[in-house]
Amino acid sequence: MAETDEATDRLPPTRAFVNARAIESNTRALRSVSQAANLMAVVKADAYGHGAVAAALAALQGGATWIGTYSIEEALPLRRSGITAPILAFRPALPGEGELFARHRVVPTITSRDVAQELNRAAAGTRLAYHIKVDTGMHRSGVAPSEVFPLVETLGGCPNLVFQGLYTHFSSADEGTVEPTKSQFRTLMDVLSTLRSAGFDPELVHAANSAAILDFPETHGSMVRAGIALYGYHPSDRVRHRVGLVPALRVASRLIRTHWLRPGDPVGYGAEFHSPDRRLIGLVPIGYGHGMPRSLGNGAGSLLFRGHPVPIIGRVSMDQVTVDLAATPDARAGEDVVWIGTLGNAEQTAEDVAAAAGTISYEILTRISARVPRIVVHGPNEMNGV
């Protein structure tokens, strides 16, 4: 829940509205096309900037059965908020984390025998499930295919640990190509076959991310993992199959000043913009300190005002940007402005912003800083608050 400013007892003018109903709806849409019995809602990086607790609750309401975080640190606030659903931490468990995993019943990813022994000691008197990530070709983290069986065999000597899951991560499911994803999945299935032939049969096998949920149903296994799609965005424009996803985030602000420039007047650091004529400009309290890419300055990016885009002029500053209001000479301080979302009949999505900034929607969403309060709402009509 957003905190108010102690001095003014109100929220700052720039804030983000998170539509829990949209996340719930997106979860249902993904479940409808998934062949897996389980869907994991990935809420790492504060649920891609949407707020992890609110997003997890909404996804569970929509049919998610698991929660995924990057680390044990990201899992703890979920447990403290009362969420009891199983949580998997993707980052391999590290030395010194065993007691936290065991006490909070968070499922670790194990890649090391030493850490496994620590987890086994921490889980004494209980049974702690674990998953193993297989490096099927992305070469970031995980266990080499040839080393999975020896590791699982060794962990069989840890009586307090239960081998519950085997998984991998696809490098190219959203690239419009087929063979890299199929090759990775074949490698995972080969590892699984070796394990099963030796009597090890994990309950959960998962590989499909948002792109593979849509384009590679043969990889769904017993669980799929939804990330960016939960929040209303398809992973890329190369994903072939589409479902009705609803963007769940709206970032709004206000004009806090309007004033007239004379011909030749400069704007912002470096004086990179000079007014070509007498025109009205507006100041909006959002900048790179809020998460707006600095590359959106000098006309590369825009904000929505009165139902149409207005260009950002000059550089993006840490705390504010200036917009060109030449088309609306009667604009006044206090009027609404939107960076991401809708205003009137106009819409600017995180994908639109990403295209202007030369990046991807994931980065735009996750870089929105903590100084932008998240306000959880429960329907599209509530998204237009300021």
Of 295, 299, 279, 278, the residue nearest 287 (C-alpha): 295
Q: What does the H/E/C string look like for 295-322?
A: HHCCCCCEEEECCEEEEEECCCCCCCEE
For the question of residue 44 being annotated catalytic, the response is yes
Q: Which of 48, 130, 269, 288 is catalytic?
A: 269
Q: Which of 44, 48, 233, 288 is catalytic?
A: 44
Distance of alpha carbon 97 from the chain centroid: 24
Lookup: tokens for 180:
């890299």
State the amino acid at position 70 in one-letter form. Y
Q: How far is CA 171 from CA 37, 191, 250, in A?
A: 23, 18, 29
Distance CA 386, CA 376 (A): 13
For the question of residue 231 being annotated catalytic, the response is no
Q: How far is CA 286 from CA 320, 344, 367, 382, in A?
A: 4, 20, 13, 22
Strand, coil or helix: 367:
coil
The residues assigned a catalytic role are 44, 269
